[in-house]
Every structure is written in C-alpha cells, then in structure tokens.
Structure 1
Amino acid sequence: MHIDEQTALRTLRRMVQFDSRTETESESAVIDWVLAEMTDLGLETHRQEVGPDRYNAIGVWRGTGGGRSLLFNGHVDTNPLTEGWTVDPWGGIVDDEFIYGLGVSNMKAGCSSYLEAVRNLHQRGLRPEADVVLTFVVGELQDGVGTRKLVEDGWRADYFVNCEPTDVTAMTAHAGALTFEIEFVGDTRHMSKREEAADALAAAADAVPVINTMTFSNAADANAEHVNRAHVGVVGAGLGRDLLATRPPQVADVARLSGSARYGRGQTPESALADLRAVVDDVCRKHPGVRASVRPKNRDGGLAMDKPFFVDRHTPIVTALNNAYRTVRGADQPTGAIRPYCFYGSDASLLQHGAGMTGVVCGPGGKYNTMPNERVEITDYLDMIRIHQHTINTITGLR
C-alpha cells in the first residue's frame, strides 16, 4: 500500500522533538499535539485524564458496520536522558539510514506508525467497517498507569496491537516480572578473627551467579521456559540493618540483593519466590551461621504488569500480522517469544489480563533501544506503517 514517506518522517521527527520524559511537566505536550493531528483527520478524539496534568490521547476512526474492531496501543513517555549522546536527543535528526532521538525506539516510532497508517488510509478515501482505536498513553514506565486508565474506563476492541519495539517481529509471548529483595544476616567479627564470623557478604556474593543463571519450575510450555531469567542488579552490605559502611575491617553481618525475575505461563510470583528461596537456602548451607529471607518488592493492588503475556500464534490477529509482513517484505515474519524482547514487560499484559483482549506485540525499533544515540531504521518504520495498513484491512475491513 502506498504511503507518503516524507509526511511519515515529519510526523515522527515532530514527536521526537517533544521532551516527554516520564512524569515531567512536558510529558503531556505531545499528547495535545497528537490530539490535534487526529482531530484534523476527522477522528473522534478523547483527552483522557490519567492524573493531575497528565492525559492520554484516544482517537476513534468509526467504522461503517461489520468487521472486527482493532485497537493500537503505545506510550509517548520516554526514559531519562543518559550520558554518551553525540546528537541532539530532541533534534529529530534523520540521515540515510536512521532517525535519532530520545524515545524514538521506545516507542515513538511505534506510536507514529499507526497514526500514519490511519492518515494514509483516510487520505485515500477509505473507511473501516469496524472501529479502529488509536491510543497514546503516558506513564507506561510507571507500571503502565496510562493503559491502566484505558482499561479502567472500559476501552476495548476485538483485537489489539501493542507497538513496543520488536524489530518488526511478532511477539506472541513475553515474561511476567517480579522484583525481589534478599537479605542475608550473619555474625560479625573483626577481620583478625574472621574465621569465627558468619559472613553475610560472602554468602550474597556466592548467591549472585547462581541466581543469574537459574530458571523457574512449572513452566507451562517451551515458550514459558524461553522467557525465564533472573538478575541481581543491586548489592549492599555492611554492619546492621542500616548497612553501616564505617568499619571496613569488620565482616559484614547484613547483605542485601535486589533483582528481578522473569517467568512465563504456569509460573507465578509465588512459585518464582519459592524457587529463589530454595536457591538461597542452598547457598546458606554452604555458609554456616548465615540465614536469609526472600521477599517481593512489587507494588500492591490493582492490575499488574507482572503477569506473562501470551497469544496463540494461530489467532486471527497474529495471522493477519504475519500475512501483512509477508506481503510487505516477501518473507515469513519471525513469530513467538522473541529474544531479547520477551524479557521486557509491556502494556500488552494489562490489555490481556485487565481488559480480556486478544492481541500481539509488534513495532519498529529495538536493537538500538534505550541507549545513547537511540535510533530506528527508517525502512523498519516505513514498513511498519504498511504492515499496519494491511492488518487494518484484514481485521476491520476497508472500503
């Protein structure tokens, strides 16, 4: 299907030029711009309040009757700015291969791709038979508060496409997430008598490589096993519960590890914690006198992004996406629990478990995600627009 490539690039450049770092005053400025763009297209628009001075943008391209409705989902908030950039993070710079910018991969290229897909179809005078719903949310990086609000206010469709960056692969499964903390408690001595001590730090240090290579029990299938991973990212140790660091000559009697677990269907936060406890207990047996506790650190209550996402690859939305990819690129689309993206969380989990919807995760960008000089390949972005158009045609019907 034909697209206006220059307009598509201008749209993405403009989105990048908004500094929409999560939970900042300027986060919703891009929302107002998107609402204006959708209004100009003649879409029904909604400015949905998420919190004080925070809004989602929702556009509805009303269908004529028939077909199956389709909802696109993406977030406009971005990660913080890191060191190491050599281009303007908000310049919307384009060269022969890439478009650069903070959040262009995660995930403004995805958001722009479905806006442009609808723009091009609309400008050709086409209409969907069923509704096409475009959602642009804030606060995905804060446990999905924007999409939570969509779900709570009753926004639904027959199918959804979440456009998180997957390098245009079809991700049909990704992990659930659990944040954990492990505390080791031993018995201190001066280093001159360390043989008499129970060294909490030594036990914690031994636990790290074991945790970082473990998998979890009760996986429902190969996909669930494929998304298993645990990682310790924070280590602290010292004297007492406050981890006092004023006495390096003494053996640490308290050490803490903080990390995250990723697990699939058939596995739960409770079963992952049980597996972690078994591993930690085994480490403690090698360090007499050291005891340990394992506890979750996830937020309490409400819908959670901690549940694994899964969709059968033979579901109509997946086959529609696969066929669209084959039409655009002349090859089979990689489909499944695609690494490394299957270790991420996404709002697809909220749409599936909170709204009861069936969908798939597919978007441009990924390999240059959340890094200095974040960028997206222009060909991937433009092909994503074409793939969305074909998917809309298959799911909703166009005339």
Structure 2
Amino acid sequence: MIGVVELTRQLIAIDSTNPDLIPGGAGEAAVADFAGGWLTERGFECHRLEQRAGRPSIVGVARGSGGGRSIMLNGHLDTVTLAGFDGEPLVATERDGSLFGRGAYDMKSGLAAMMCAAAAVARESHAGDVLVALVADEEYASAGTEEVLTRFRADGAVVAEPSGLDLVVAHRGFVWAEVTIHGRAAHGSRPDLGVDAIAKAGRFLTGLDELQRALASRPPHPLLGTGNIHASLISGGEELSSYPARCTIGLERRTVPGEDAATVERELRAVLDATTEHGYDLAITFERQPFRAGDSAIVADLRAAATAHLGRPPTERGEPFWTDCALLEAAGIPAVLFGVDGGGAHAAVEWVTLDSLHRTTAILTDTIRMFTSSR
C-alpha cells in the first residue's frame, strides 16, 4: 500500500506545468494517466474528460450502497513553471519535517491526501458515492472544473487547496477589464494636430488610484476585507516620431460578495467620464465570482473532523485569492476549502509539512465517512 508521502513524491516527479502559463509546458496528460491508473487499481470507476486535447481531468467514483450523501473531493493537477526553482523541481526532497518540490504545496500533496482518503473509505462499506475530481487548468482558467461540472454533481465538496489546516469559507472574486483611451495620430512635429493618448491616459490612471483609495475606505467584509483594483498592463503608440492614437490599459478588480462585473463597469465608467476628453472604449473581458460558504453539512462535518484531529476547533477564515470553490457553489454544490500547511506557492522554494499532510489525510478520511453516512 502506497502511503500519502510516497504518493506525493510520485506526483511531484511528473511534470504537469500548465502550458497556458508556460508555452510548451507539459500539461496534465502524464499525471492524469498516473492518477487515473492509481484510482482504477483501487476499484474506482474512472472517467477521463478531455474537451481540450492534452488537457485531461480525471473523475474517480467509488459507488456507495445507497442512502447517503455524495461527496466530491476537488484538486488540480497542473502546476506553475519549473523555471527558477531552487533545486531539482521534480525530485521531492525531505528535510526538517517537510517535503520540497514543485507542487509539494500547491497542490500535489493535496491530491495525494484526497486520493488516499477516498481510497481508504472506498475499501469500507459506505452509503454515499465518493467522487475524486482531479482537474486540469486551475492555475489559468479553471477549465477542468468547468468541464467536470457539465457531467458530475455531488451533495457537497471539499477543495483540498493548501490552507494551513484552516477552514476557508470565503474568498474574493475578480473581474478583468480593458480600457482604451483615444487620442489623435499625427506627426511628432505637429502638436496642433496630434492628441497624445498615452499622456491623456495619465488622468485616468490618477483617477484609478483615487478609486483604489475609495475602495480601501469602504466598510470591510468580515472575512475578506475590501475589494481592490490595479492597472496590470499598458500599451500604446506606434513609433517615436508620432502622436499615439490610443492607449490600452488592462485592469484587474478583486471583488468581495456583493460586487460583480456590473459593479466594476459602473465604477470604471464614472472614472473614465470624469477624466477622459477624447473618448474611450471599455470592455469587461473575464469574471470569476467571489465565494462564501453557507451553513452546510459539508462545512459542519469537516469542522467536526478537524476538531477531533487538531484537538481544537479549526480557524475559519477567508482567502484573498480565487479558487474553484466558487464554481462548485455556483453549480449548487456546497463547498469548503481545506488543506495542508507549508509554503512557497509559485515560488523558488516550495514545501509541505509532513505533519500537516498526515493530518489532512486523516481529516478528509473522517469527513468522507461522516458526510456519506447519512442523507
């Protein structure tokens, strides 16, 4: 029987760099093959979802005897770049009670904990179905969880992203927008004809800074604080000898419950109308909703299991970043986030503490048992 630490090592050893982040990245195919085989060997009914070639997700199902709630454990197969990692990123190294390697924290240890917990319950008599969703593309656009939700449902879900053994019951959303400030092209020697769109964009950027200060002064959400906005990308102009006809600015607005794309569009139009003389275009290009867990059975059971293993009630808190919890909740599946301790997500040094890996596995195992035992 492979233990959770050894399984984490094996998962780290398989390159699954997201190719949408890093052109030419390995993608999830090899790690999906391995994980699907591991689950199949343990009696799971395995489904491979691959709407995008080379970007598969795996859903393993251990059918229950009936009369219990179904649970989905969700975690992502992809990682960020191997470049710049301090050491050999695909060789898991153990020292000082921690395991180091790319994905050790975010989130191949979480995958291993999910898989081992589900396999332990699958060997027992259990009433409700146990689903293990190992998804592609979370680090970029969450296409994997979106595809899974076209085929599968459950009565509750745990996303096993790293949380430091805390219950994460809320997180922010985000909205991406693109603003184009218009000017007038002309030869650089003709200020009487040209309107410098890049210079005019400066007024908008000043207004954006004022909007950020206004957001920071709002009454904070009890778990998430206030939303925020920043300019992420800027481009404009054709050549040094010409006045630029346009300047385009890419923006990100992080949102809290009660804020959405419509909120952001109103805010941006107010700033643009006050600062722009020669016209503008505004497009909302992408949105992910914020998440807030309700008072659900999955939260209650995970809280109870964590309390039993930690010897205290777990801390319940929010996260500033976005996760697949929001997609699950929007699909009508009550969700909560819980996972390992460690650090170095997306960094040069990444690690998971072995104590938290064992605790997470035990807590997930008991959560599955409790949740699937009753309707």
| 1:319 alignment partner in structure 2 | 300
**1:164 aligned residue:** 161
Select 1:150's aligned residue among 148, 151, 161: 148
Pairwise CA distance, 1:58? 1.5
The AA in structure 1 aligned to 2:264 is A
Deviates more, 1:11-20 or 1:167-176: 167-176
State the percentage of identical aligned residues.
23
In 2, distance between residues paired with 1:181 and 1:129?
Answer: 50
Q: Distance between the aligned counterparts of 2:266 and 2:83, measured in 1?
A: 36
Equivalent residue, structure 1, for 2:179 = 182
Q: Report deviation, 1:335.
A: 1.4
- Aligned match for 1:296, one of 284, 287, 292: 284
Structure 1 stretch displaced more, 164-173 or 72-81:
164-173
Equivalent in the alignment of 1:302:
none
- In the alignment, is residue 254 of structure 1 matched against residue 250 of structure 2? no
Amino acid at match of 2:105: S
Q: Name 1:349's counterpart in structure 2.
A: 326
TM-score, with normalisation over the residues of structure 1? 0.81
Matched, 1:244 2:238: yes
Partner of 1:229: 228
In structure 2, relative to structure 1, the CA distance for the partners of 1:217 and 1:309 (3 Å cut) is farther
The alignment's C-alpha RMSD in Å is 3.1
State how far apart, in whole Å, the 2-side matches of 1:370 and 1:309 are.
23
Give 2:301's aligned amino acid: A
Letter in 1 for 2:284: P
**Any unmatched runs of 5+ in structure 1?**
238-242, 299-304
Corresponding residue number in structure 1 for 2:22: none
Q: How does 1:79-98 map to 2 (within 5 A)?
A: 79-83=80-84, 85-98=85-98
Q: Contact (CA 8 Å) 2:343, 2:350: kept in 1 or not?
A: no
Equivalent residues of 2:238, 2:244 under 8 A apart: no
The runs of 5 or more residues in structure 2 that have no matched partner are: 20-24
Q: Deviations over 1:52-80 (max 9, x none)?
A: 24322121122223321111011101122
Q: Distance in 1 between matches of 2:211 and 2:14?
A: 40
Contact in 1 for aligned 2:121/2:369 (Cα 8 Å):
no
Out of 291, 300, 306, the position equivalent to 1:309 is 291
Partner of residue 370, structure 1: 346
What amino acid does structure 2 have at the position aligned with 1:126? E
Matched residue SS, 1:265: coil
Within the alignment, does 1:132 sit opposite 2:130 as a pair? yes
For 2:344 and 2:164, locate their aligned partners in 1 and report how far apart those are by CA, in whole Å.
10
How much has 1:107 moved relative to structure 2?
1.8
Deviations along 1:154-175, one digit per CA (max 9) or x if unpaired, are: x111101112222222222222
Alpha-carbon separation, structure 2, partners of 1:157 and 1:227: 32
Equivalent in the alignment of 1:240: none
Alignment partner of 2:131: what SS?
A: strand
SS at match of 1:128: coil
Render the CA deviation track for 1:311-367: whole Å, top value 9, x for unaligned. Answer: 12x32111211122211112221213x2xx3x32222222222x3211112222574
